[in-house]
Amino acid sequence: MAQTAAAVAALGLTKPNVVDPLQIIFAAIDIEPSDWEGDVLAVAVTEKDVCRSPGSSFENAVLKRLDSQFGGLLSEASAEEDFSGKAGQLVVLRLQGQGFKRLGLIGLGWSAPFTAAACRGLGESFASVAKSARAGSAALALASPGGIHGEFKPNASAAIASGTVLGLYEDNRYRSESSKVHLKRVDLIGFGYGPEVDSKLELASHVSSGVIFGKDLVNSPANVLTPVVLAGEASKIASTYSDVFTATILDEERCRELKMGSYLAVAAASANPPRFIHLCYKPPGGNVKRKLAIVGKGLTFDSGGYNIKVGAVCSIELMKWDMGGSAAVFGAAKALGQIKPPGVQVHFIVAACENMISGTGMRPGDIVTASNGKTIEVDNTDAEGRLTLADSLVYACKQGVDKIIDLATLTGFCRVALGPSIAGILTPSDELHEEVAAASEVSGEKLWRLPLEESYWETMKSGVADMLNTGAIPQGGVITAALFLKQFVHEKVQWMHIDIAGPVWSHKNRSATGFGVSTMVEWVLRNSS
């Protein structure tokens, strides 16, 4: 007998603490860094900026003025700490009798950052300075403001703001004791100012809240975040932004009526019932010029089924992250509920379930039938994500959309191919690839296009059904997985698959990254009027 949602969510007597969201006000101002007043002033410097004249004074005007203001303390400290402005270097000085209590230097390397990813990294370094100082107010200045091109400054400001927020954020929902974030105000100096920059900073705030929501979803353990609870979190988005969102939650019986045999086969072994989740965003005013769908894999836990995950490399203990695609979907939905872009309708679709083991479970060799009538021979129960996505993609096409992007922690092969920081993308549409590549340039998330080699489909043919769910040989596993998904997308719909198995999780931080949220938000904005 299936457990109730309330009982499942409290399994192990664990419930998340209620944590207040980060509330930080960002402002871009026009002021000399030496005239700023607050707790911590951090100056981002390149190796060129730290160069000194024969008299040992800084050649850079900003550093020279600050050093003069402090009676040479800055040059003395940088020499003692062997600070040369290399990327990742930090020096923090405690001051007295000044307008600010601490001064920090953050190394950028040989030149200032010209990419969103580098600026986001700068924001994270800045956050560590503010956090260690327990600062309530902080400012970040560029020693050489001219080092960043004027047209990039608004996006640079947004990326720094996002990096700062994400660098400060800690998931304390499951700790008995937690630290407090003191920072409330951040001023950006030298990154431009005015309405365009202010608009980008506001956008960064909305996107960051979506990224944090996505991180929280992935970080939540499977004994707390069940498919029913995930559906509840999605419904909260719809109720919070009810002016633009509606929610449709399908239970197992309704999915059976829609003939979602591929999805339901994966869910069959779990005591936690599945939930098919559909959020629909409709713009204010109702004028729709383009219809999009973002589909996410939603395995709240993946044991591998009868092909159980074994060995250290399988990371069964981390399989709560197998709903990272759905986290990106709902994180983007939350951000867009705040931004409210015009002219575009967006369907957010997730088939949520667990892949477990029981007498009712799917077995290797079983044949399942997807909602478009195609049959699949299951030769590996650990290739379950694509089975849930199959019915999700069919459902998405029935919404009459023009374009579909799916995000999934689909294959270990992609992690092997591209490592922990880069997601693989596969699509037959060059136009869609260009759109997403442009969006990722703004988001700073790294994507790499892999070939959708049609000849590999030969390895996916079954002797008794329309197709296998994995190929006969493991080589090219990222590609064959995408070719499998392609069978469930209408040929008139532009479609892209994004495998986020690598960047969904930071092993260094032992935490989710929220990967995919920022790129999806930017992609939707580029499709809005």
pLDDT digits (tens, 9 = 90+) for 139-150: 999 998 877 888
Contact 346, 331 (CB under 8 A): no
289-327 pLDDT, tens per residue? 999 999 999 999 999 999 999 877 789 999 999 999 999
Identify the band that residue 98 occupies on the pLDDT scale cut at 50, 70 and 90. Answer: confident
The Cα–Cα gap between 190 and 194 comes to: 12
Q: Are the CB atoms for 249 and 277 separated by under 8 Å?
A: yes
Distances (CA, A) of 253 to 6, 298, 350, 430: 20, 19, 17, 39
The reported pLDDT for the residue numbered 82 is 83
% of the chain with per-residue pLDDT over 90:
79
| Claim to verify: residue 306 and residue 163 sit in the same structural domain | no
Q: Give per-residue pLDDT as tens, 112-121.
A: 767 899 999 9
Enumerate residues 6+ apart whose C-beta is below 8 A from 164: 24, 26, 123, 124, 126, 127, 130, 140, 186
Would residue 67 count as lying in a domain?
yes
- Kindly state the average pLDDT of the residues 181-194: 94
The answer to whether residue 19 is domain-embedded is no
pLDDT tens-digit series, residues 482-505 = 999 999 999 999 999 999 999 999
Consecutive H or E run containing 446 = strand 446-449
Q: CA geometry: angle at 492 spanning 491 and 493, to 5°?
A: 95
- The predicted pLDDT at position 71 comes to 84
User: Looking at the structure, do residues 31 and 134 belong to the same domain, yes or no?
Assistant: yes
Phi, psi of 405 (to 5 degrees): -120, 130
Nearest to 290 by CA among 456, 42, 528, 19: 528
For the residues 254-275, what does the mean pLDDT come to?
A: 98
CA angle, 46 as apex, 45 and 52 as ends, to 5°?
A: 90
373 with 435, same domain: the answer is: yes
Q: Where are the alpha helices (DSSP H) in 269-366?
A: 324-339
Tell me which residue of 277, 295, 455, 267 sits closest to 368, measured CA to CA: 267
In a domain, 16, yes or no: no
- Sign of CA pseudo-dihedral 319, 323, 328, 333: negative
Question: Is there a contact between 296 and 407 (Cβ–Cβ < 8 Å)?
Answer: yes
Other CB atoms within 10 A of residue 13 CB:
6
CATH number where 97 lies: 3.40.220.10
Around 354, how many Cα atoms within 13 Å sit in the side-chain half-sphere?
A: 24
pLDDT of residue 81: 80
Query: How many Cβ atoms sit within 10 Å of the Cβ of residue 351?
Result: 33
C-alpha distances in angstroms, 43 versus 51, 357, 362? 15, 55, 58
DSSP letter for 18, please. Answer: P
Torsion angle in degrees (nearest 10) through CA of 247, 253, 257, 259: 90
Domain boundary at 158, 193, 228, which?
A: 193
Whether residues 223 and 178 fall in one domain:
no
What pLDDT, on a 0 to 100 scale, did the predictor assign at position 9? 55
* Domain membership flag for residue 223: yes
Is 456:480 a contact under the CB 8 Å cutoff? yes
Query: 416-451: per-residue pLDDT in tens?
Result: 999 999 999 999 999 999 999 999 999 999 999 999
Q: Which domain holds residue 54?
A: 25-193
Phi-psi domain of 452 (left: phi exceeds 0; alpha: psi -120 through 50; beta: other): beta
Return the structure tokens found at 466.
């329309």
What CA–CA distance (Å, rounded) separates 49 from 85? 8
Domain of 427, CATH number, reads: 3.40.630.10
Whether residue 298 lies inside any domain: the answer is yes
Amino acid residing at 161:
A
| Cα distance between residue 15 and residue 173, in whole Å | 8
**Boundary (domain end) residue, out of 152, 175, 193:** 193
With 0-12 CB in 10 A as exposed, 13-18 as middle and 19+ as buried, what is 54?
exposed
Mean local confidence (pLDDT), 365-380: 98
Q: Domain check: are 224 and 180 in the same one? A: no
Looking at the structure, tell me whether residues 271 and 178 fall in a common domain: no
CB distance 104 to 92 below 8 Å:
yes
Asked if residue 458 and residue 371 are part of one domain, the reply reads yes
Any domain includes 333: yes
SS3 of residue 106 by DSSP = strand
Identify whether the C-beta of residue 368 lies closer than 8 Å to the C-beta of residue 387. Answer: yes
Burial of residue 297, with CB atoms counted within 10 A of its CB: 0-12 exposed, 13-18 middle, 19 or more buried: buried
Which positions ≥6 away from 4 have C-beta within 8 Å?
none
- Select which of 215, 309, 320, 415 is catalytic: 309
Rounded Cα distance between 274 and 295, Å, is 16
Residues 224 and 183 in one domain: no
Q: What is the pLDDT of residues 391-411, one digit of tens each?
A: 999 999 999 999 999 999 999
Residue type present at position 286: G
The per-residue pLDDT for range 198-251, each reduced to its tens digit, is: 999 999 999 999 999 999 999 999 999 999 999 999 999 999 999 999 999 999
Is there a domain that residue 82 lies in? Answer: yes
Q: Using an 8 Å Cβ cutoff, are 46 and 144 in contact?
A: yes
Q: Three-class SS of residue 146?
A: helix
Q: pLDDT (tens digit, 9 = 90+) per residue, 44-96? A: 999 988 887 666 678 889 999 998 888 888 888 888 788 888 988 898 989 88
H/E stretch holding 68: helix 61-69
Which entry of 386, 403, 415, 486 is annotated as an active-site residue?
A: 386
The question of whether 386 is a catalytic residue gets the answer: yes
- Residue 151 and residue 230 in one domain: no
Q: 291 catalytic, yes or no? A: no
> What six digits make up the tokens of 15?
């419930």
3-state secondary structure string across 493-511 = CEEEEEECCCCCEECCCCE
Q: Please tell me the total count of domains within the chain.
A: 2
Q: Is residue 210 part of a domain?
A: no
Mode of pairing for the β-strands spanning 343-355 and 288-302: parallel
- In terms of domains, do 172 and 297 share one? no
- Domain closes at, from 144, 159, 193: 193
- Residue 86 has what DSSP assignment? -
Non-local CB neighbours of 55 within 8 Å, separated by 6+ positions: none
Residues 143 and 244 in one domain: no
> Do 38 and 167 lie in a common domain?
yes
Residue carrying structure tokens 């559909």: 278
pLDDT (0 to 100) of residue 56: 67
Is residue 216 within 8 A of residue 171, CB to CB? The reply is: yes
* 180: pLDDT strictly greater than 60: yes
> What pLDDT is stored for residue 55 in this prediction?
62
